[in-house]
Structure 1
Amino acid sequence: MQTAINIIVLASIYALISCGYVLIYKVSRVLNLAHGELMLLGAYLLLAVSSNISPDPWLAVTLAAGLSIVVGLLVYVLLMRKMTGESVLAAVLTTIAFGILLRGVMILVWSPQQHNIAKPLGIANSAIEILPGARISSVAATLVLVTVLVYAALFAFLRLSRWGMRMRAAGQNPLLAAQRGIELHIIYALAWGLSTFTGATAGMLIAMDSRLDSTMVMIGLKAFPAALVGGLDSLFGAIIGSLIIAGAEVLMIQWVNPLLSDVVPFFVLIAMLAIRPWGLFGTREKLDRV
């Protein structure tokens, strides 16, 4: 039972991060390989807010999440907007370069040492016994709940809201959407804001559950195979891909060797690329243009 709980928690982490990859790719066909760094920045923003503005956890998380949305919007407006009309490769390389630069800046500002972010927020993070021999920390349980709520909100937003339908239209046929009066740059900026928000939320919860340091960016990178396995233009696929990656990783840690945990997601990714390059629920015609 404890193994199943570990898989659910890890899958929730990957799903909450990977939906950011999916949102940007689904709308603008850009692979944001700086998403892990933006996730890490969200956690450092929470540390900065809790240390310098308010130690109240609700206020600190709200302010950090709001700042993360602003960061996502600025990244698009100041950087990625200039990539409009350029090749896909140029946009991907831009996100890689930006991620490396951002990681270096964060290390310079906050140092590479570990930070206990739960302490200034007054979070105890006690263990909750679900069943005999099966436990989950309170922050991990919150992370699972937040992931469910985020996905429910995203599905409802994309299916029912006017802006969500505009985002879907822009992703399916940007030229036709622009001809119909949809301002593509606003849609793309919204996608970057939402993506950074979900990634930052994951980063803040991960940091509260364990410790915060620069190596946490690896978690964001390991979530990328989950998005690709499920299909880069499918939110539902991101959930299934996260479950597959998390299940393989937890079982490998438990039955083979914990040192292989960082390798497993990419092994599964290579296997999927060899069999079905567009992912389990991805659209083949769209991914052929990457």
Structure 2
Amino acid sequence: MSAASTPAVPPLGKYLASSEKKTRDKAVKNLAAFLSSDCENVLPDLEMAKLWKGIFYCFWMSDKPLVQQALAGELAELTLTITDVPSSLNFLRGFWTMTVREWNGIDRLRMDKYYMLVRKFVNASFRFLMRTKWDSATIEEYNSILSGPNGPLCPNDIRVPASLAFHLSEIYLEELEKALISSESPPPVPLSTLLLPFVGLAARTPTNTTYKHIQSSLFEPLRNSLKSSSGPPSRKKARTSSSDYSTLLVNAYTSSSDGDQAMDVDGVRKSILQKIFDVASETETRDANRRRMYAFYKDAVDDDEDSAG
């Protein structure tokens, strides 16, 4: 496509920021139509950055709680309203690039509504991936958006705010559970693959507090929930598990060596633990993090053996 025929981003900012829901709905619909109108309309990075900067400040200026909540939901739903997968992924990349870039400039009074916006986008992202029937190439691209340059879980970019990774580790499984509940017949979930961005961050982060937060807010609750669902659990472990991911655990699967899918909670648990062990063994993993990940793996295996005995 020539530069002359490259579509201009529609001037929707003031309409997206409107207090009138009808006006916002029309703006969101027009934006979705623009982003989906042609596969060649996948916006260049610079144009997507301009679009998201406008949307960011529209959301910044929305002060009424109900307006904030409605706009956050409408923006996240664009991920699903857009009709082709590359455009949806491009839109998500723009969102995360903007969020990482602007996060440290968000003042304390506005932080809660941006936490809400992130939560809405995580939920919409899972529903988008679910709509592709968890297509492996789409998940790989989505994971690379989270873990790559300008992503919220990029382990080697000091510009990425730790508080954003903390928030994601706290809400990730909650929103995956909600997304599955919202579907009448969700396709089997490749849970260990969806967790890869966090395993990679845990392995390579140079910050002790980031590693500890991922383990305490994501790895340990999931391990305990999987343990509680796979037979008689350690009573101590069961009591410390405050999260209920029942729908997720019922729908999670692990792939066997011949490629078949097995809906087996115990197998899923072992698959996740093995993934943590394997990433810990990689040469790029920081030594201190490797030791912690090995210790986490060993503790889980020992707990299995105690329960079996």
| Structure with more helix by fraction | 1
Relative contact order, CA 8 A, sep 6+: which one is greater? 1
Q: Work out whether the TM-score is over 0.5.
A: no
- TM, length-normalised to structure 1: 0.31
Q: Which has the larger radius of gyration?
A: 2
- TM, length-normalised to structure 2: 0.30
